[in-house]
Amino acid sequence: MPELPEVETVRRGLEPVMTGQRIALAQVNRPDLRWPFPENMAARLTGQRVLGLRRRSKYILCDLEGGETLLIHLGMSGRMLISGAQVGAFAHPHPAPEKHDHVVLDMADGARITFNDARRFGAMDLARTDDVDAHKWLTVLGPEPLGNNFDEAHLVQAFKGRRTPIKSALLDQGIVAGLGNIYVCETLFRAGIHPTRPVGQISERRVKSLVPIIRDVLNEAIAAGGSSLKDYRRADGELGYFQHNFDVYGREGLPCRAEGCNSVVKRIVQSGRSSFYCPTCQR
């Protein structure tokens, strides 16, 4: 499942292909994904010049010349493929259409962006750019973890007196937007905080330490995605998924990576999702 760094990587990969270009033809091959597509989506996209691509949490926001913004969510398995464009040193020929190619954007310069989503948990919608922050998908979101509104005071306030386990609190999109299971596990390992610890019991000093740790974890993953972009362009024009080197995520039973620690990584299930942690390093 793509998390914030993967979505940011996709955004950065799409940007040079879409920004400033006109959508010559939009094809929408089914009425819905997770939710119905907006009415007349193909017609509303066709002919529009793309002013820019932004990201809010795990949504890509594509601002169009006519005053609407296309909101894109990759869901569980959504992939963006670029073809026909000179990306890096390589141009990819258009691939043969595949079964799960749901939305295809042919840009005026010959580039094609194909949204393929086998499990159909992805979503797209259109909203007026002026009102896009009030869209129902975005209005429930807390501050962006890499933005200015996410700071120490915000976390201290959000955690004060609450009994929620830290793992659940950091997954709460209203407290901080876009953090998913993987990067919460990695953040808590670096912070030395046990995933079940109630947030109200964590010292203010340790709560504050989470802000730079979250930023570092995400920025490092975005940087890894950026370097993988070149490889993906080279391989097949597909964007979005890349190899990571996690400290705890997916490493149950393997040695803890902290220097001088002889423990192995453990896994527990919290709210139906796996938490990976070191029982010695995380308290």
Give the residue ranges of the annotated binding site for DNA.
Answer: 100, 119, 162
**Which residues are marked as active site?**
2-3, 58, 273
Out of 19, 219, 274, 280, the residue judged to bind Zn ion by CB under 5 A:
280
If the CB atoms of residues 43 and 261 are measured against Zn ion, the closer one turns out to be: 261
- Look at residues 127, 114, 17 and name the one whose alpha carbon lies nearest to residue 70: 127
| Chosen residue from 256, 275, 276, 277 binding Zn ion by CB under 5 A | 256
Helices (H), 22-165: 41-45, 152-159
Measured in whole angstroms, the distance separating CA 261 from the mean position of its chain's CA atoms is 32
Does 50 bind Zn ion (CB under 5 A)? Our answer is no
Q: Distance between CA atoms of 104 and 17, rounded to whole angstroms?
A: 14
Nearest CA-CA partner of 34 in 122, 127, 100: 122
CB 202 within 8 A of CB 168: no
Residues 95 and 104: beta-carbon distance below 8 Å:
no
Q: How far is the CB of 255 from Zn ion (least distance, A)?
A: 8
How many residues sit close enough to Zn ion to count as binding (CB under 5 A)? 7
- Single out the residue of 263, 268, 270, 274 in contact with Zn ion (rule: CB under 5 A): 263
Letters for 25-44 (x = contact with Zn ion by CB under 5 A, - = none) are --------------------
Beta pairing partners, 73: 59, 123
- The minimum distance between CB 270 and Zn ion, in angstroms, equals 19
Q: Measured between alpha carbons, how far is 30 from 175 in angstroms, rounded to an integer?
A: 35
19 touches Zn ion by CB under 5 A: no
Q: Is 258 a binder of Zn ion (CB under 5 A)?
A: yes
Residue ranges in contact with Zn ion by CB under 5 A: 256, 258, 261, 263, 278, 280-281
